[in-house]
Structure 1
């Protein structure tokens, strides 16, 4: 169950040995569909897309903000119904991307593992560690040697998009970069994050 005005780590993997993204246009289309379905209900704090999986750090918007966008949402009175509505937005997004992907590549069936994973972010330390974890994921999985080399990530855009949060978590832009570099240099520290963060 998703809660309003709460941070979540959301992630999922391609079904079996498939890839979610086979070419650059797939990443662009995924982001287009993502913004279409999910911008009305979440703020996307950090993200990283990789060939066979993705990681997102989102903050669910307030009930008032979501209600201002969806007339249907306004008619739902119970919290459980409203929470289910949020989850449905994610399901609609995954379904929309899958249908388009299947059509282009002449495939059938589910593309994502059923039931996307979600983990509530409970404190500031976890929030900070999660941002580092998401941005370093392409290095962890061997897609690149340097995190700056991976294009499909919020690594370079996060500080400008969320300056107050960046300052709160990392003090300043220099410290933000240093924190990421230190995790990459001391990679054992980074890999220890995995058990705690997912």
Structure 2
């Protein structure tokens, strides 16, 4: 599979999972450390619009602020730093993540909005946990008045405001809940 080349100023869905679907976050501390390392290695090179950390995979929506080579190397350093710390903590060796992180370029605002909603709904549809209360997604941070490293104003503007952001998530969640109930 040929990997998408990262381009400055473009938006991307970045995601990956554990090798063979293995757990990459054993506990909340692992997720907190992952987010800290994300900030440490990438915050000056990408804008973060959304994220969700599940037990065996993660999703990020980012916009590149730096050139491809620098961002790619920073992602590599970030993932390596997390994997080394995780392996040390759990006395394991070898790869933690699948070979290359996946990336999909987002070419229009409709897809970008749909992806943000999809990412935030992951806890409900994978873990049967209410996405509104899940601690390790950007949903709560975007709605909060607290300062954050997320581009929450940009996200809210993309949805036409806070009310429409909430409405879009609830509407999609209701649709999926009814769909899965019928299956």
TM-score where L is the length of structure 1: 0.80
Task: Name the counterpart of 1:162.
Answer: 152
Offset from partner CA, 1:102-137 (integer Å, 9 cap, x none) = 111000000000100000010010111011011001
CA contact (8 A) 1:170 1:176 kept: yes
1:146 to 107, 130, 136: 130
Q: Note the C-alpha offset of 1:178.
A: 1.1
Cα distance in 2 between the residues matched to 1:9 and 1:17? 19
Task: Name the counterpart of 2:175.
Answer: 186
Cα distance in 2 between the residues matched to 1:112 and 1:36? 19
TM-score where L is the length of structure 2: 0.86
Higher Rg of the two aligned structures: 1
Offset from partner CA, 1:125-161 (integer Å, 9 cap, x none) = 01110110110011121x1342113110000222564
Offset from partner CA, 1:24-60 (integer Å, 9 cap, x none) = 1101111111111111210111000010000000010
* Unmatched tracts of structure 2, length 5 or more: 146-150
1:5 to 4, 9, 17: 9
* Unmatched tracts of structure 1, length 5 or more: 64-81, 192-198
1:33 to 32, 37, 57: 37
CA contact (8 A) 1:133 1:190 kept: no
